[in-house]
């Protein structure tokens, strides 16, 4: 990742409780503000990521470039540019600074690891559900870890605490866990936890949790007498709609289609048994 493009001072400042610009909608939770927005030049009191979605063809930056600015840094962007903005209260940077590092201004090109994480976060913002808080938390921590210490060498072997994290997730997948709670249980920094977990599992903690819930649901679907809505809740999903969406993402079919296939296989095996 490189230093961000040239910046210019401005008298317009973004307060911690306000997003300046034409936002389609905002999602605010635990010190994170997500918004898709068009905004003019300004300075900023918060730290934030920008995923560039589209804009003026004269703009040198390509769509899906991701920029990170620490708090207090002034910058300039075209008024017509559309961005996905992730504004962070200082408490989020403090969690990374606890590791002895500090996030730095940077620009990541399309296809980079940071941009892939930003796109994943943007998709989560467009499809919010009860699990989104955990997914958003994990992705933000991973993104901060990248801009804080991009040169850090990966772990060669899984740390001893990683198996404890796996056990916590397997035993608590029906609950609304947070990265902070899990990290506290194993006494590691949340940003470090998110980075190491992805390194060895090749996915974020939120995605891992979704898979655990879907695996449990698959077992429950073998019983034709249990309603889909009941399976959704017992698996940790907020409702049947959320359950259906995540289940299809993971398996390629709806819960109803999966149940029909499972029951059909049982009948077929019974006839030939």
Query: What strands, in cross-sheet order, belong to the sheet with 47-54?
Result: 22-29, 32-38, 82-88, 47-54, 66-69, 106-108
Q: How confident is the model at residue 6 (pLDDT cuts 50, 70, 90)?
A: very low
Residues 100 and 174 in one domain: no
Domain count, the chain: 2
Q: What is the CATH number of the domain that holds 212?
A: 1.10.10.60
Q: What is the pLDDT of residue 171?
A: 93
- 60 or 49: whose pLDDT is higher? 49
Q: Tell me if 243 sits within 8 A of 237, measured CB to CB.
A: yes
Residues 89 and 194 in one domain: no
Q: Is residue 106 part of a domain?
A: yes
Q: What is the CATH number of the domain that holds 62?
A: 2.60.120
pLDDT in tens, 207-246: 888 889 999 999 899 898 999 999 999 999 888 998 999 8
Question: Distance between the two ends of the chain, CA-based, in angstroms?
Answer: 61
Q: Which of 146-150, 171-175, 251-255 has the lowest mean pLDDT?
A: 146-150
Q: Tell me if 1 sits within 8 A of 108, measured CB to CB.
A: yes
Q: Is residue 70 part of a domain?
A: yes
Instruction: Using the predicted structure, report yes or no on whether residue 14 has a pLDDT greater than 50.
Output: no
Residues 173 and 237 in one domain: yes
Residues 158 and 75 in one domain: no
| Domain of 271, in residue numbers | 153-273
CA distance 145 to 131: 22
Q: Tell me if 86 sits within 8 A of 121, measured CB to CB.
A: yes
Q: How confident is the model at residue 118 (pLDDT cuts 50, 70, 90)?
A: very high
């Amino acid at each position: 990742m490189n230093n961000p493009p040239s910046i210019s001072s401005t008298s317009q400042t973004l307060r911690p409780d306000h997003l300046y610009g034409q936002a389609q909608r905002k999602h605010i939770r635990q010190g994170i503000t997500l918004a898709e927005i068009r905004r003019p030049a300004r300075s900023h009191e918060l730290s934030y990521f920008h995923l560039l979605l589209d804009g003026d063809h004269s703009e040198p930056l390509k769509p899906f470039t991701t920029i990170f600015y620490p708090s207090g840094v002034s910058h300039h962007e075209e008024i017509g540019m559309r961005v996905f903005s992730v504004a962070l209260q200082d408490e989020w940077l403090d969690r990374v600074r606890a590791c002895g590092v500090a996030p730095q201004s940077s620009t990541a090109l399309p296809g980079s690891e940071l941009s892939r994480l930003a796109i994943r976060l943007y998709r989560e913002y467009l499809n919010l559900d009860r699990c989104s808080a955990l997914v958003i938390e994990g992705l933000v921590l991973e993104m901060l870890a990248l801009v804080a210490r991009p040169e850090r060498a990966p772990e060669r072997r899984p740390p001893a605490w990683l198996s404890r994290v796996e056990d916590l997730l397997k035993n608590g997948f029906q609950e609304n866990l947070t990265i902070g709670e899990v990290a506290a249980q194993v006494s590691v920094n949340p940003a470090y936890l998110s980075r190491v977990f992805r390194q060895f599992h090749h996915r974020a903690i939120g995605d891992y949790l979704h898979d655990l819930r879907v695996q449990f649901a698959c077992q429950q679907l073998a019983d034709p007498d249990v309603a889909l809505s009941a399976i959704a809740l017992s698996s940790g999903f907020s409702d049947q709609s959320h359950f259906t969406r995540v289940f299809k993402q993971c398996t390629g079919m709806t819960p109803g289609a999966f149940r029909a296939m499972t029951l059909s296989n049982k009948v077929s095996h019974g006839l030939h048994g």
